[in-house]
Structure 1
Amino acid sequence: MPKPHPKEFRDDVVAVARRGDAPVAQVAKDFGISESCLRNWLHAADVDAGARPGVTVGEAAELKQLRRRNRLLEQENEILRRAAAYLAQGSPPKMMFPLVLELAADRVPVAVTCRVLGFSKQAFFKWRAAPVSQRDWDDAHLTNAAIDAHRDDPEFGYRLIADEVRDAGLPASDRRIWRLCSQQGLWSVFAKKRGLNRKSGPPVHDDLIQRVFTAPDVDKVWLTDITEHWTGEGKLYLCAIKDVCSNRIVGYSISDRMKSSLAVAALRMAIQRREPAGTIVHSDRGSQFRSRKFVHTLRVNGLRGSMGRVGACGDNAAMESFFALLQKNVLNRRRWATRDELRLAIVTWIERTYHRRRRQDALGGLTPIEYEAILKSQVAQAA
């Protein structure tokens, strides 16, 4: 079964087809998809826009959410019923964790049970891994009470949180509450900011490529970076991921804000398209590539991060050369009135011109698509 195309890619192709510069068949060919697939996307877009009858994507998502909510309510009712029976025993248990195990065996998620019964998942899993002391158990209750107090009043420091905890019937000293608040990072929103004027820490990843912008095969080394350009509506940001071997842009994302989600979206598009394993993803030390979400996405997909030095453009020169080419052929060609106008121009140039028409000397006079097709045929013949 072929892999589904990313939503951002589908929306861009539909927008290009609706613009009417070329027939649907030609647009489909330019973007490397079948004509029937593009017509299905256009039909779905018309349904979402209300131009045709049918179930929209939003309605389908809402129905799915309602079913999920109904299933969750059934689980919560079952948890409360079982908890009432559990507590009605002659000798009430000191802990409810055994009930969590019983419900988990009946396919009730642990997270739901812990939330309904009013304690943290962390406390449950720690108990399951090893017996806990009474002090640890008391600390867990105090921590939950402190979190609740801080959630209700974020301006509270540890002393006021300690007062709230004691008012709730949980005796504890100020020092003990301070220790628990420190472990959980529960600080007053008016507290002095920590970490200001400190030197930047070490990079998240080592430099694994050392300016060697070559690879023996596709999906061995990827480069990524972010560029920006002004429009009449403000800036537009592009995060692109380039395969070193074929020079193909394997993933990209475009947005009006330069957040970590921009880099994560481009990486997810590349992963969805290529399904890599052990690929090196090299970037600069921008905050988007140092973010927890980006590093987590690398780790869970088996990718290896790599970073150049601070202020050393040459450490990512091959990616900078692509952005220079984009600047020359698209961004600087004229003034762009709207972000959507520039967005469509960028994706059209990448998919139609750069991938399928622009021949590169480094690839032996081939386009990136042609070069990858030859590599695949050689691998198939060798097998």
Structure 2
Amino acid sequence: MREDNHTSYRASSHDLPFGRRRTGLPESAGRLLKKAVSKSRKGEVPSQRDNYEIVEELRFLHGVTSLLAIAGIPRASYYKWRATQPQRAAKQNLDHELKEHMMAIHFAHPYYGYTRMVTGLGEAGHIVNHKKAWRLMKDLGIQSVIRRKRKVSNYTPSVVYPNRLKRKFHATAPQQKMVTDITYISDGSKFYYLSVIQDIFNNEIVAWQLSERNDVELVLDTVEKWTRKRDVAEAVLHSDQGFQYTSAAYNKRLETFGVKGSHSRKATCLDNACVESFFSHLKTEKLYLEQCKSGTEIHQAVEDYIYFYNYQRFQSKLKQRAPIEYRCALAA
């Protein structure tokens, strides 16, 4: 089979289709096909899928039989490709949706690699494997931002409480078992830190505080808001072993109000799964969608979502009621 000196395409039905063939197709149509290939790939060699798509686009103008002859595509192969179009379209739509979620996650957590991206997508209800996450991240041109290694801390905890919760995420009344934690939120240029206290009885967020500093004052202010509104004596307040929660000031504040401290084991986030779940909902249902550009916008978004979460977000665990509705119904 001879080679066309004017293009890089061979007239082979398997290698480089749309070569010149004696098919009876008008010369103008042949030129149109060449132009379509060149325009679609800027002179690159088209793939078999590209050729299928070109035939599909031009079939009403020139007829499938002639186009397939020029492309060197077997008729059966083309119709098999057409029959699987709906599945491919559905896959493309799913990939597009996943990419939107991945961009939102990357915006909030720029240091996430593909392994953590899989976890983040899973929390949003999208189960994908590591290979697919890597491929989609490559398509999007995103990769993790390497953080500088933190210096080894010489901090010695003042108090470490026993784990009184022991993953028993059930309470028979309000203010029995509480969980607290901190998450960070980015506005694209800096981080803000959100501290919350959640009641395991009905998942209600009973206190929260947003700050530009992740320090002991942040958790003390959150505890202060909680104790102002409720009688908290004898309540268990569970947290991880972060430096804020093992500080002398935190311990003293709990003792003042008769609260029993409780700590997770080191590096065991599942010991505090309830509040981790809330943070996941907050980010996927609100923050990733709005992509706040300032601390003021973040504060408003958090305030709006917590109101929605407490008063309007129905939960199967609460018999399809929102947290405050559930608490009020049982108190009636």
TM superposition score category, shorter chain reference: 0.5 to 0.7
Name segments (4+ residues, structure 1) moved above 6 Å: 196-199
Q: Decide which of 211, 228, 243 is 2:167's aligned counterpart.
A: 211
After TM superposition, the structure 1 = structure 2 runs for residues 220-239 of structure 1, keeping only pairs within 5 Å, are 220-239=176-195
Aligned-residue offset at 1:203: 5.5
Structure 2 residue 290 is matched with structure 1 residue 290 = no
After TM superposition, the structure 1 = structure 2 runs for residues 210-289 of structure 1, keeping only pairs within 5 Å, are 210-289=166-245
Distance 2:291 2:155 in 1: 40
- Residue 329 of structure 1 aligns with which residue? 285
Secondary structure, aligned partner of 1:331: helix
Distance 1:376 1:299 in 2: 28
Secondary structure, aligned partner of 1:266: helix
- Residue 358 of structure 1 aligns with which residue? 313
- Residue 167 of structure 1 aligns with which residue? none
Aligned-residue offset at 1:350: 0.2
Q: Is the 8 A contact 2:216 2:244 kept in 1?
A: yes
> Which letter maps to 2:273?
A
> Which blocks of at least 5 consecutive residues in structure 2 are unaligned?
1-151
Q: Is the 8 A contact 2:202 2:326 kept in 1?
A: yes
Pair 1:345–1:198, CA change in 2 (3 A):
closer
> Which blocks of at least 5 consecutive residues in structure 1 are unaligned?
1-195, 378-383
Q: Is the 8 A contact 1:240 1:253 kept in 2?
A: yes
Distance 2:326 2:314 in 1: 10
- Residue 25 of structure 1 aligns with which residue? none
Distance 2:189 2:299 in 1: 12
Distance 2:222 2:156 in 1: 26
Aligned-residue offset at 1:232: 3.7
Q: Decide which of 309, 324, 329 is 1:369's aligned counterpart.
A: 324
Aligned-residue offset at 1:256: 0.6
Aligned-residue offset at 1:359: 0.5
> Which letter maps to 2:271?
D
> Which letter maps to 1:309?
R
1:143-167: CA deviation from partner (whole Å, max 9, x where unpaired): xxxxxxxxxxxxxxxxxxxxxxxxx
Q: Decide which of 310, 318, 343 is 2:299's aligned counterpart.
A: 343
Aligned-residue offset at 1:335: 2.3
Give the superposed CA RMSD.
1.8
Aligned-residue offset at 1:375: 2.0
Secondary structure, aligned partner of 1:236: strand
Aligned-residue offset at 1:366: 0.6
* Higher Rg: 2
Secondary structure, aligned partner of 1:302: coil
Aligned-residue offset at 1:200: 5.5
Secondary structure, aligned partner of 1:347: helix
> Which letter maps to 2:245?
F
> Which letter maps to 2:272?
N
Distance 2:329 2:206 in 1: 17
- Residue 42 of structure 1 aligns with which residue? none
Matched-pair identity in %:
30
Aligned-residue offset at 1:205: 0.5
Higher helix share: 1
> Which letter maps to 1:361?
S
> Which letter maps to 1:209?
L
Distance 2:172 2:216 in 1: 30
Distance 2:242 2:157 in 1: 13
Aligned-residue offset at 1:241: 0.3
Distance 1:319 1:234 in 2: 23
